[in-house]
Structure 1
């Protein structure tokens, strides 16, 4: 029954719908005829409107609105974005297409070809897929532009072939360079492994008998293997001061007490070592300040790094051990290099003995007279080996103290890359202070052509901030080409003669 009642009501609704539709059409026709007729009458009567005419127009307009309200205009549903129209998806506002992705050829044809463009206008039989903007020179022009001439197309093809050939040549050259570097790296690693076996099995067990032999000195010049470097440095530097690990702990305890006292009271009391109050306070402040500046790219000596406290301890213990020297800027780099290769107590022993050498003691005590004598001795060999650059520096008033002080204070560990500086340290431990000044001559020889073109300011800036791409082999080749000979006199003889002069 429910179904039959619903069907009857549906039939009545359809009948009413048809009647009202017919009525709506008639009213529309009547209204349009009356409107046109009424407009003609207005023109004939001089735009005079009667009351009856207004009533009839009002009734028809009301009836028209009533019928139209019975059949509201169907609202159009918002049309979603076409899934077939190509376009760009900007900021996620356009939903992703559900159709299969198109390749670059299809995208170029859809975007660059008009719908009316004839199919024969498209290039067929493509030999490659354009993947970059350099390939666009081979594409045909749009239909609304003049076509390429044969000569222009050939020229574009030739230019593109030249670009491809040049790119292939660069890639081949880069691949060859990488293969060469890899080959040299493997060769170097193999050489280091072989040298490590020789040092561990033959040289170190018989150190006193083999250290000055020709074979050992040649191996030394080539660079020490990293795993034996610290041991060789300790043996070469020696321990003339007879410092023991227990002595290091004693001076470290004293340093910690002073730091604690200074942090609590804000001032230091006068100690029995005879050092002045100002010297000790400045030394402690410099230690804290310089540690953060020590090899910053490594991030291991800065606050929170694994070697920060260790470096602070070694420098603080040395300040208490040598209050007459205290802490001087540059010491942190020397101590850091030793810490990277030795244990804590061994690093302190090597550090104290290394700074006790005559050259280092003169510089870290800031003995100006003795430092000037070292500079004078260096200039003798500078003029002997590099006369053109020596005369250029003389005319520019560029004296050795402007660049040598920084090199000697840090033993080149700040000025050179760390691996190159460690190789300089290898031979420095073998030859002593002479090799420090010979390394300086090697750097000047390496950059002689560059320095000859620079004035005083630029030369000083260049030497205080050397290029970071210094290779150890190139540098040591220049060092080998700078013998420390002045006639028949060696470095020790020239340096002694300069120091004897008052």
Structure 2
């Protein structure tokens, strides 16, 4: 329609010019395809971009598009096209169509290659945006930790008794204690009502070492009759399964001896209790927070490890963890009843299923692993970061925070707990292998669930 008003000669000249321009584009594209590429797969020469009115952003997009390496020529599949490719056919090979299909029109090929480059350029830009976003999140978190640390160091710690009594300070531990302040804050929040010292740790560990040497001189049959032998075996086994993703508590790793030392010392400090499966996880959290990296004093120095032992002993001496350590039936029953009561208000359908006779699963089978590990979960399923954040609250708010966290865990895992007994225990039981990651949400989301669990309906 654009040529309708032109004379015959002018129309013929215009059409000839248009055909020449199209052929020139095709020739240019063929030359680009044959041009040698650089070792990294990109063209050795910078592509030319025509000036346009779309602005710098559009120009950058076109440059990125043109710089994308093109897909290789489709030379065939021996299973579909086993015959060798002739020279004539080789001239018609396409980058976007298999060799056994009819040749593609050059204009269509050119269009599809440009679309491919645009899509790849868009993908690269999206990846850059994701990387920038992740970097921004890390920087924001670091900035927040620095601000929190200043508050703890300049306001709370120097004025501990007064500051802790202020309602606004409670928001600080719910938001998470800054890592560089966490060790001192945990120790002061837990306290030392047992009046333990480095000498207490050294004495308890000394008794453990003497017993270990004595057991080594006994026969296998004699060792089997000694409960201390079982303690040592269980401690060694649990150390290998302590937050394996960190790779620092297993044999030969930096914090292996420190973990063994604290667990052995506590077992002989509380010889009436001995070693209880599950306490290796909160012990590991305390070591991660209070134990310095190996230095010239050595990773097993009593001055390094003693604060972890003291804090652990006082933490486990609180009513709820002590009830599970000493198998105090009445106290354990009260704790279970409180969890079930809270669960019935917050998640009534889940409560009805878990307590229904047809489910055939006892409360202790799915609830006790949470409390015996101080909410780290069986096999540390809650994860280090969330467990640390829960501990930030537990050291201040005690048993009630443990109950709220237990209900929050059950609520987050609700969709996976409506099966039969075996399915429930695969998630919550001691031997269950099903991971929790993916159901708990981010640290902030999970802590929000813990707070919500304590609010009245």
Q: Which moved more, 1:163-172 or 1:194-203?
A: 163-172
The answer for the alignment partner of 1:244 in structure 2 is: 197
1:303 aligns with 2:251: yes
Q: Deviations over 1:163-211 (max 9, x none)?
A: 5444444433333222222112111111111111111111111111111
**1:445 pairs with one of 403, 411, 427:** 411
Aligned-residue Cα RMSD (Å) equals 3.5
**C-alpha distance in 2 between matches for 1:184 and 1:146:** 49
TM-score (structure 2 length as normaliser): 0.69
Counterpart for residue 468 of structure 1: 437
Of residues 310, 313, 318, the one that matches 2:261 is 313
Structure 1 pair 263/133, CA: closer, same or farther in 2 (3 Å)?
same
The alpha-carbon deviation at position 432 of structure 1 amounts to: 0.6
Are residue 224 (structure 1) and residue 224 (structure 2) matched? no
Q: Which structure has the greater CA radius of gyration?
A: 1
Q: Deviations over 1:64-102 (max 9, x none)?
A: xxxxxxxxxxxxxxxxxxxxxxxxxxxxxxxxxxxxxxx
Q: Which residue of 1 aligns with 2:297?
A: none
Q: 1:438, 1:482 within 8 Å by CA — same for their partners in 2?
A: yes
Whether the 8 Å CA contact 1:283–1:327 is kept in 2: the answer is yes
SS of 1:177's equivalent in the other structure is: helix
Listed as ranges, the matches of 1:418-457 within 5 Å are 418-448=384-414, 450-451=415-416, 454-457=419-422
- Closer, same or farther: CA 228–156 of 1 in aligned 2, 3 Å: same
Whether 2:452 is the aligned partner of 1:481: answer: yes
C-alpha distance in 1 between matches for 2:450 and 2:141: 20
Q: 1:298 & 1:316 partners in 2: Cα distance?
A: 22
Q: Deviations over 1:105-158 (max 9, x none)?
A: 3799xxxxxxxxxxxxxxxxxx88863248889x963599996465xx666666
How many residues are paired up?
A: 358
Q: How much does 1:234 deviate? A: 1.0
Q: Give the match for residue 212 of structure 2.
A: 259
Q: Which residue of 2 aligns with 1:141?
A: 92
- Over 3 Å counting, the alpha-carbon distance change for 1:212 and 1:181 in structure 2 is farther
CA contact (8 A) 1:300 1:308 kept: yes
What secondary structure does 1:265 align onto? coil
2:454 aligned counterpart, secondary structure: coil
Deviation, structure 1 residue 325: 0.5
Structure 1 residue 265, shift from structure 2 partner? 3.2
Distance 1:330 1:215 in 2: 34
Q: Which residue of 2 aligns with 1:278?
A: 226
Match of 1:171 among 124, 136, 140: 124
Q: CA deviation at 1:232?
A: 1.0
Secondary structure at the counterpart of residue 211 of structure 1:
helix
Structure 1: gaps spanning 5 or more residues: 1-102, 109-126, 271-275, 488-502
1:268 shift after superposition: 11
**1:186 and 1:285 mapped to 2: Cα distance?**
44
The Cα shift of 1:289 comes to 2.3
CA contact (8 A) 2:187 2:311 kept: yes
